[in-house]
């Protein structure tokens, strides 16, 4: 019986496995093993095996998993088979790039609309997404019962936007602003900090070349 409660580390790895499985096709790829996934992704075989066992019982010894079945199990566990609606605040360059990305639906995310305080941006479209004046946000949240908010505003405005989202019923925030957000208990914040990612890359290169 697979566990429905997995560690944060496992949860962060599962989308990587799903992306890999989606790239494989053809009769030769009907089955896939944890070992093959680990080798292809350069990961530890034991870790991959335990991760998959936590969400699936369909694996067979010496055979592995039926690829399509494992894809469906991963999609169900991650919630990708039931899209969550979201709104985005900040229709600048980053916000517009996210609005233009057509891959979100396959990861279970549907951006309903964007909001911005700039009169030049309001009441325009980015692809099929409408950019609305910020003052319309509470009403849309109330009508649609959307629960995910994406913040792509400059750091100095992020907390104010965060507060507005929470007041409007948002329960989970995907934060692209490079600032810490203060939120009450029960509100989930997922930070995407480019400075942290760059620091990890820089440190890796420094360690690599310092050993030569």
Same domain, 171 and 188: yes
Q: Is 21 annotated as a binding residue?
A: no
Q: Is 94 annotated as a binding residue?
A: yes
Q: Is 92 annotated as a binding residue?
A: yes
Tell me the mean pLDDT in the region 58-76. 88
pLDDT (tens digit, 9 = 90+) per residue, 180-204?
Answer: 999 999 999 999 977 777 887 888 7
Residue 115: strand, helix, or coil: strand
* pTM beyond 0.75, yes or no: yes
User: Which CATH number fits the domain that encloses residue 110?
Assistant: 3.40.50.720
pLDDT at res. 23:
87
Residue 15 is part of which domain span?
A: 8-78
Tell me the mean pLDDT in the region 72-89. 89
User: Are 129 and 99 in contact, with CB atoms under 8 Å apart?
Assistant: yes
65: its two tokens = 């998993």
Residue 46 lies in a domain: yes
Distance separating alpha carbons of residues 123 and 118, to the nearest angstrom: 10
In which band, very low, low, confident or very high, does the pLDDT at 81 lie, cut at 50, 70 and 90? confident
pLDDT at res. 26:
64
Q: Is 95 annotated as a binding residue?
A: yes
């Amino acid at each position: 019986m697979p566990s429905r409660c997995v560690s944060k580390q496992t949860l962060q790895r599962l989308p990587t496995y799903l992306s890999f499985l989606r790239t494989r096709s053809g009769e030769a790829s009907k089955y896939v093993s944890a070992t093959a996934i680990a080798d292809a992704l350069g990961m530890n075989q034991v870790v991959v095996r335990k991760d998959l066992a936590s969400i699936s019982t369909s694996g067979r010894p010496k055979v592995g998993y039926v690829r399509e079945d494992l894809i469906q199990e991963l999609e169900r566990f991650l919630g990708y088979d039931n899209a969550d609606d979201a709104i985005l605040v900040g229709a600048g360059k980053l916000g517009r790039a996210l609005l233009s990305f057509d891959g979100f639906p396959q990861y279970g995310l549907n951006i309903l609309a964007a909001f911005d305080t700039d009169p030049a941006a309001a009441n325009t479209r980015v692809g099929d997404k409408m950019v609305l004046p910020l003052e319309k946000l509470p009403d849309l949240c109330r009508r649609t019962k959307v629960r995910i908010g994406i913040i792509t505003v400059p750091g100095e405005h992020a907390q104010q936007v965060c507060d507005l989202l929470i007041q409007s019923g948002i329960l989970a925030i995907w934060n692209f602003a490079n600032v810490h957000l203060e939120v009450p208990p029960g509100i989930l914040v997922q930070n995407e900090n480019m400075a942290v990612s760059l620091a990890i890359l820089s440190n890796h290169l420094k360690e690599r070349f310092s050993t030569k």
